Structure 1
Amino acid sequence: MPAPEDTELLTLLSTGLALLEPDGRVQWLNPALGEMLDVGPRTAVGQNLSALLRNPALLPHLARTLGEGRAFNLRGTAFHVGRGRELVADVTMQPVAEERILVEVHPLAPDLTPAATPLSATLRGLAHEVKNPLAGLRGAAQLLERRLGDDDLRQLASMVIAEADRLAALADGLLRHGGSARIAPVNVHELLERLEALVAAEPGAPATRHDYDPSLPDIQGDADRLLQVLLNLTRNATQASARTITLRTRVDHGVRLGERVVRAALRVDIVDDGSGVPAELRDTLFQPLVSGHPEGTGLGLALSREIALEHGGDLRYTSHPGETTFSLYLPMERA
């Protein structure tokens, strides 16, 4: 069994985990794997994992893992689990103490196939990989929240938990086949308050100013995804050495968004006084893998614009040294 102090964190992971006896019988598995197999963790104990996955080809690999004392990976393997469902997954097997085998099961969404575009596969692979550290981060923050006596520190731990949940939901959106935005009423000024709190919590954060139109109604959108767009924009401003970021909201009329002209669009501006967008990047800034920062991935703005388009809106910018404005446009009436 996993050490008692580790069990609480292991149960929070979204990756399916099982600890096996040398003959392949389950000694322990976490709830994530139980959900994948449609079996209770306690019910699974004592059963052979290859029988639960209905794939006898797994047994030779388990034996080889112990025999050679090293990890083995099975990529894109099809298994048949509870209620006749097919599970396509990557499986990692590695030997651990006392001749036990630790098995990790990473289910693949239907889009994670060789036919997927390289960028699509890369983004979904990235989403898959970040879910485990996010779960560990959330679990650690929960333990801290319970043990801290200071209210301010507990509030910071709660913020970490909320952000871990938000990013896990974004990762789920990338992993779900045809995952769509979760549309609900969004108060954009409440969203900007969350953004300001997150910006202020980062080291060396620039000062923030407000220029709001208080008459704005709620819009229909996915709050988590929209917050991610705004976070990407403010972090770009920070990387551009901005000392001040202005958050501005307005309503524009007769705006062209894609192939249609909307009567009214909400505009959220992120204005910074940083160094601006380099001239050589201005025509390709929203393309994937284009970045003006040495350590940048070039995915933030590409994903941000994709989220804007997903909401029927757009993401645009104007820039010169000392003032750069990224504008998120969202239709007041969702198409």
Structure 2
Amino acid sequence: MDTMPWRAWAEQMSTGLAVVDAQLRVAWINPALAEWLETGPRSAVGQPLGLLLHEPDWLAQAGRVLGEQRAMQWRGVALVSARGREVSADVSLQPLGDDQLLLEVHVLAEPQSMNSPLSATLRGFAHEVKNPLAGLRGAAQLLQRRVGDEDLKSLAGLVIAEADRLTSLANRLLHHDGAARLAPVNIHERLEWLCDLLQAEPEPPQLRHDYDPSLPDVMGDADRLQQILLNLARNAIEAGARMLTLRTRVEHGLRLGERVVRTALRVDVIDDGPGVPPALRDSLFEPLVSGRADGSGLGLALAREIAREHGGELRFVSRPGETVFSLYLPLERLHG
């Protein structure tokens, strides 16, 4: 049976899929299963399936699937990757002709190392947006080459830069390069970049700055910190804010999580919108919680997750006409 026609849509599925030969070597694997196994799709090809899965007991019965030409299923089995990552999953094998098997894996639970239920959702979303981002970048490149107006060229360059940044974030989520890439970050440069993005909106908000120019750099992942700021601003605008104030300060003796830090950077995004509805205040940072009918509920959850991976926190206070989201980042890693 020729498996090629369905591989295009199989590449997009969140269900783990692989094709193995009669010797149980991987002939093809989709990104979802490669991610769970903590390997790249290309590097998995040619590898024994037992090596990638640590020889689970049910794999010994795989020969019966080809011999009897019938599908087999196993419920709630443990899958362990070559790096020791473990998931619980429902697994099925079915014959693809005389010499190949289709493996299907439905993960039932995230591994213990994945602390946030958001992560699986984000990785699935990251996979879905890569193709549109490539198309967006290509269109912006064509526009940049064809227009003569320098302002339009600059806007097209902004689109290209944002597409590249989001593609980089998506790749790092998809390929398990998940750790933040820490380097000194000038937070005011990130805020000015945010302002450039917001001014390119069809109906840009009014912007005010209240910066502490004495602030030192913070140790962080510039792309991810940029994402926090963008999510906070967009959340405010979509909630009805017409003015945003961006404020930076230093905090001393602040508790972040389980520890007290001597100094921390605070970035406030202040809006004049209607405020956070009381019913949402206790769950606002949870995945899939949104105050809008068309909201995804991922923006603030992602922002909090990024803040925490930097050793920081995201907090808010809200009343009608003034909502303040505050990002706290420890300065001690760089200036201890």
**Residue 254 of structure 2 is aligned to residue 259 of structure 1:** no
Q: Tell me, in whole angstroms, the C-alpha distance in 1 between the residues paired with 2:237 and 2:8.
A: 42
Quote the RMSD (CA, aligned, Å). Answer: 2.6
Give the direction of change, closer, same or farther, for the CA distance of 1:111–1:279 in structure 2 (3 Å limit).
Answer: farther
**Residue 26 of structure 2 is aligned to residue 109 of structure 1:** no
Structure 1 residue 146: Cα displacement = 1.4
Structure 1 residue 87: Cα displacement = 7.9
Structure 1 residue 291: Cα displacement = 0.4
Q: Tell me, in whole angstroms, the C-alpha distance in 2 between the residues paired with 1:116 and 1:277.
A: 32
**Residue 244 of structure 2 is aligned to residue 283 of structure 1:** no
Partner residue in 2 for 1:204: 203
Q: Per the alignment, in what secondary structure is the counterpart of residue 174 of structure 1?
A: helix
Give the direction of change, closer, same or farther, for the CA distance of 1:282–1:148 in structure 2 (3 Å limit).
Answer: same
Give the direction of change, closer, same or farther, for the CA distance of 1:71–1:187 in structure 2 (3 Å limit).
Answer: closer
Q: Per the alignment, in what secondary structure is the counterpart of residue 168 of structure 2?
A: helix
Structure 1 residue 60: Cα displacement = 2.7
**Residue 5 of structure 2 is aligned to residue 60 of structure 1:** no
Structure 1 residue 125: Cα displacement = 1.2
Partner residue in 2 for 1:26: none
The AA in structure 2 aligned to 1:159 is: L
Q: Tell me, in whole angstroms, the C-alpha distance in 1 between the residues paired with 2:144 and 2:315.
A: 40
Q: Tell me, in whole angstroms, the C-alpha distance in 2 between the residues paired with 1:111 and 1:236.
A: 35
Aligned length: 254
Report if aligned partners of 2:17, 2:32 keep a CA contact under 8 Å in 1: no
Q: Tell me, in whole angstroms, the C-alpha distance in 1 between the residues paired with 2:174 and 2:277.
A: 33
Q: Tell me, in whole angstroms, the C-alpha distance in 2 between the residues paired with 1:119 and 1:253.
A: 31
Structure 1 residue 334: Cα displacement = 2.6
Give the direction of change, closer, same or farther, for the CA distance of 1:107–1:263 in structure 2 (3 Å limit).
Answer: same
Structure 1 residue 277: Cα displacement = 0.2
Q: Per the alignment, in what secondary structure is the counterpart of residue 196 of structure 1?
A: helix
For residues 285-311 of structure 1, give each alpha carbon's deviation from its aligned partner in whole angstroms, at most 9, with x where no partner exists. 111111001110111111100000000
Report if aligned partners of 2:207, 2:243 keep a CA contact under 8 Å in 1: yes
Q: Tell me, in whole angstroms, the C-alpha distance in 2 between the residues paired with 1:215 and 1:87.
A: 57
Q: Tell me, in whole angstroms, the C-alpha distance in 2 between the residues paired with 1:156 and 1:72.
A: 34
Partner residue in 1 for 2:330: 331
The 5 A counterparts of 1:97-176 are 108-110=34-36, 114-117=107-110, 119-176=118-175
Structure 1 residue 264: Cα displacement = 0.2
Q: Per the alignment, in what secondary structure is the counterpart of residue 312 of structure 1?
A: coil
The 5 A counterparts of 1:8-47 are none
Report if aligned partners of 1:246, 1:272 keep a CA contact under 8 Å in 2: yes
For residues 113-164 of structure 1, give each alpha carbon's deviation from its aligned partner in whole angstroms, at most 9, with x where no partner exists. 6155375333211100101110111111112111221111100000000000
Q: Tell me, in whole angstroms, the C-alpha distance in 1 between the residues paired with 2:208 and 2:131.
A: 36
Give the direction of change, closer, same or farther, for the CA distance of 1:187–1:111 in structure 2 (3 Å limit).
Answer: farther
Structure 1 residue 253: Cα displacement = 0.1
The AA in structure 2 aligned to 1:89 is: I
Q: Tell me, in whole angstroms, the C-alpha distance in 1 between the residues paired with 2:175 and 2:109.
A: 14
Higher alpha-carbon deviation: 276-285 or 134-143: 134-143
Q: Per the alignment, in what secondary structure is the counterpart of residue 60 of structure 1?
A: coil
Give the direction of change, closer, same or farther, for the CA distance of 1:283–1:77 in structure 2 (3 Å limit).
Answer: closer
The AA in structure 2 aligned to 1:60 is: D
Give the direction of change, closer, same or farther, for the CA distance of 1:283–1:333 in structure 2 (3 Å limit).
Answer: same
Give the direction of change, closer, same or farther, for the CA distance of 1:193–1:220 in structure 2 (3 Å limit).
Answer: same
Q: Per the alignment, in what secondary structure is the counterpart of residue 241 of structure 1?
A: coil
The 5 A counterparts of 1:63-82 are 65=5, 73=10, 76-78=16-18
For residues 75-109 of structure 1, give each alpha carbon's deviation from its aligned partner in whole angstroms, at most 9, with x where no partner exists. 634469xxxx968633xxxxxxxxxxxxxx88741
Report if aligned partners of 1:79, 1:87 keep a CA contact under 8 Å in 2: yes
Partner residue in 2 for 1:52: none
Partner residue in 2 for 1:314: 313
The AA in structure 1 aligned to 2:3 is: H
Q: Tell me, in whole angstroms, the C-alpha distance in 2 between the residues paired with 1:290 and 1:187.
A: 31
Report if aligned partners of 1:187, 1:219 keep a CA contact under 8 Å in 2: yes
Q: Per the alignment, in what secondary structure is the counterpart of residue 315 of structure 2?
A: strand
Higher alpha-carbon deviation: 317-326 or 138-147: 138-147
Partner residue in 2 for 1:96: none
Give the direction of change, closer, same or farther, for the CA distance of 1:248–1:87 in structure 2 (3 Å limit).
Answer: farther
Give the direction of change, closer, same or farther, for the CA distance of 1:267–1:72 in structure 2 (3 Å limit).
Answer: closer
Q: Tell me, in whole angstroms, the C-alpha distance in 2 between the residues paired with 1:271 and 1:126.
A: 28
Q: Per the alignment, in what secondary structure is the counterpart of residue 291 of structure 1?
A: coil
Q: Tell me, in whole angstroms, the C-alpha distance in 2 between the residues paired with 1:334 and 1:116.
A: 34
